[in-house]
Amino acid sequence: MAASEHTIAPSGSPSGARTGTGRARTLLGRDRRFGYLIIAPLIIVLLVITAYPLGYNIWNSFHHVDYLLPPLGAWAGVSNYEKLFTDDQFVPALLHTLAFTVVSVVVETVIGLSLALALNKRFRGRGIVRAAIFIPWAVPTVVSAELWRTMFDPQQGFVNYLLKELHLPLATTTWLDSTWTAWGAILIADAWRNTPFMAIVLLAGLQVIPSDIYEAARIDGASAWQQFWRLTLPLLKPALMVALIFRTLQSFFIFDVVYIMTGGGPGTSTNVLAYLNYKAFFALFDYGYGGAVSVALVVVALIIASAYRWVFRTDEAATA
């Protein structure tokens, strides 16, 4: 950082009396060089922690890098990718992850949108309500996972306590020990923490919609329902897209909650891609297979992101 660039300082050009363009050009060049210099740390760090690992994973995925079966580094062709589709781990995990992503994003969007609409109204105590609803997002995912693990615990949990007090069935269920109830618990822990994020982003989107267009719609006799579908939703589209892309990819990469609440169990019935990937590195020590899972994760994420861009773009073109 020893840069001491003087933009306005006397330039080193042969004569200061030259035409302004030459001088302007050096100034622009200096400005540009200074710009590249100060953006360099960011680009270098991001390349080191994203592009380099991705490249490394790609290399690993085409080589034999199983630490339990040395020697390492022999060319393996596409055998690691073949393994993804022939073993009984990857495809189920992919399907679990996609299904979970769809369900959690739909649930969080519907609840998040209704929360945002409610918080967009004026009422006494709105600030306090907003803070209360926002707090679950602020705590770490580990907290939400541990907290819901407690809530669903057969002995310590609130859920079974409530069922027992109300004399309802299922009061002795061990929720995390069977597939569907375990998924339900994971979904609740995830939605509890992340719906506030959805609500906050959508609320910001609602607040930039000018209120006079609703006035006009009311005068024209539009019902509240029509106003929502014809005005609010289309105008909310930019915020909705941002929130959806963020939440969809985060959901797709879910790890913490699964690791803490179920460990992928019972059996492998709540296994998800990120957890499978973690196990490939730290339980199987197979970095070739793990690399292939990582690459697959990146590829599917790219497909999801471009699908969103495509959906929202064609929509815009169609309504324009």
Partner 1 sequence: MSAASEAVLRQPRRAAAKKILTPWQLARRTGFFALLAVFVIVSLFPFYWIVITSLKTPQEINAGTTSLLPGHITVSNYIDDFTQNDFLRPLLNSVLVCGCTMIITVVIAALAGYALSRTAIRAKGLFLAFILVANFFPVIAMVGPLFTVYRRIGLLDTYPGLIIADLIYTLPLATYLMSSYFSQIPRSLEEAALVDGSTRLRTLRKIVIPVAMPGVFTTAILAFMLTWNDFLLALSFMTTPSRFTATVAIVTLGQSPYQTFYNLIDAAVVIISVPIALLVLFAQRRIVSGLTAGSFR
In the range 228-287, which residues lie near partner 1 by CB under 8 A? 238-239, 242-243, 245-246, 249, 253, 255-256, 259-260, 274, 277-278, 280-282, 287
Phi-psi region of 285 (alpha: psi -120 to 50; beta: other; left: phi over 0): left
Please tell me the count of residues contacting partner 1 according to CB under 8 A.
95
Indicate which single residue of 141, 232, 251, 271 sits in contact with partner 1 (rule: CB under 8 A): 141
Smallest gap from Cβ 183 to partner 1, in A, equals 19
- Binding flag, residue 310, partner 1 (CB under 8 A): no
Smallest gap from Cβ 171 to partner 1, in A, equals 11
Strands 63-64 and 74-75: antiparallel
Residue whose CB is less far from partner 1, 183 or 196: 196
Smallest gap from Cβ 158 to partner 1, in A, equals 5
The distance in angstroms from the start CA to the end CA of the chain is: 49
What residues numbered 42-101 form the site for partner 1, per CB under 8 A? 42-43, 45-46, 48-50, 52-54, 56-57, 60
Smallest gap from Cβ 234 to partner 1, in A, equals 17
Smallest gap from Cβ 130 to partner 1, in A, equals 7
Mapped onto helix, strand or coil, the DSSP state of residue 118 is helix
Q: Quote the Cα angle for 188-193-198, to 5°.
A: 105
What residues numbered 26-45 form the site for partner 1, per CB under 8 A? 28, 31-32, 34-36, 38-39, 41-43, 45
CA–CA dist 139, 108 (Å, integer): 17
Residue whose CB is less far from partner 1, 18 or 33: 33
What residues numbered 158-197 form the site for partner 1, per CB under 8 A? 158, 160-161, 192, 196-197
Please enumerate, as own/partner, the contacts of 52-61 that have beta carbons within 8 Å and a separation of 24 or more. 53/294, 54/294, 54/295, 54/298, 56/291, 57/290, 57/291, 57/294, 57/295, 58/291, 58/295, 59/291, 60/287, 60/288, 60/290, 60/291, 60/292, 61/288, 61/289, 61/291, 61/292, 61/294, 61/295
Residue whose CB is less far from partner 1, 136 or 266: 136
Smallest gap from Cβ 57 to partner 1, in A, equals 6
